[in-house]
Amino acid sequence: MSEKKTPQQVAATLRRYPPLRPVISAVGPPPAFRVTPVAKRYEHLVRSIVHQQLAGKAAEAIYGRFAGELHGDVTPERVLALSDETMAGVGLSGAKRRAISDLTHKVHDGTVRFETHGRRTNDEIIAELVQVRGVGPWTVHMYLMHALARPDVWPSGDYGVRNGWSLLHGHDVMISALELATAADHLAPHRSAVAWYCWQAVDVARASDR
């Protein structure tokens, strides 16, 4: 196994690709993601489910109320004890309640085994987690990037990544998820950082428009 590169080394490597140079110069090295402990991976995935298709502030407000009902201890055991009415009362939609419930039950029956993820491939983890109702590739990609700190995740279906890639390459029309799926193959094994730079490119463009 090759030695893991520092964020500064990753940035230096990605600077060899001209479209990325402006955003790397603007924002510097990518963050050094840390692996989430096994005991916190369930909570991390629940938070991702809450964030699906919601603006960040709205999602965090709902998640804060949800976690408050659990006194900050977001575990399968405590979530099983919550009524559907309580979950609805904090602002969780029916789809999100069903997804969280299904995840919780699949943790209990052994379908989802967070303790094994550290030694399994991205594809194996994706195959496991998409069995959960309401959990698709985007949610698993975010989990792989942010909870497992995997360096080569490419969330080509993410709107912000599509938007940022298009901005960096001067596209008049936003690239499709299908086209983007293989567009960054030459930037492996650092595509998690590339995705982060795409998000930053959107923020930089917005700031320049103010």
- Give domain limits for the chain: 7-33+153-209, 38-146
- The answer to whether residue 207 scores a pLDDT higher than 90 is no
Looking at every residue in the chain, the average pLDDT score rounds to 94
Q: How many helices and strands in the chain, by DSSP H and E?
A: 12, 0
Q: Is the Cβ–Cβ distance between 11 and 123 less than 8 Å?
A: no
Residue 141 in tokens: 């990609």
- The answer to whether residue 2 scores a pLDDT higher than 70 is no
- Alpha helices, H only, 72-190: 76-80, 84-89, 94-108, 122-129, 137-146, 159-168, 177-183
List the one residue out of 140, 116, 143 whose CA is nearest residue 127: 140
Q: Is the Cβ–Cβ distance between 206 and 164 less than 8 Å?
A: no
Sequence-distant (6+) residues with CB within 8 A of 161 are: 155, 180, 195, 198, 199
In this prediction, residue 1 has a pLDDT band, given cuts at 50, 70 and 90, of very low
> Which CATH class, in words, describes the domain spanning 7-33+153-209?
mainly alpha
0.75 exceeded by pTM: yes
Residue 69 burial (C-beta neighbours within 10 Å; 0-12, 13-18, 19+): middle
> Which CATH class, in words, describes the domain spanning 38-146?
mainly alpha
| Per-residue pLDDT tens digits for 149-170 | 999 999 999 999 999 999 999 9
Residue 49: its pLDDT value, please? Answer: 92
Sequence-distant (6+) residues with CB within 8 A of 21 are: 15
- The answer to whether residue 48 scores a pLDDT higher than 70 is yes
Whether 7-33+153-209 shares its CATH topology with 38-146 is answered no
| Per-residue pLDDT tens digits for 111-139 | 999 999 999 999 999 999 999 999 999 99
DSSP tag of 194: H
Residue 52: its pLDDT value, please? Answer: 84
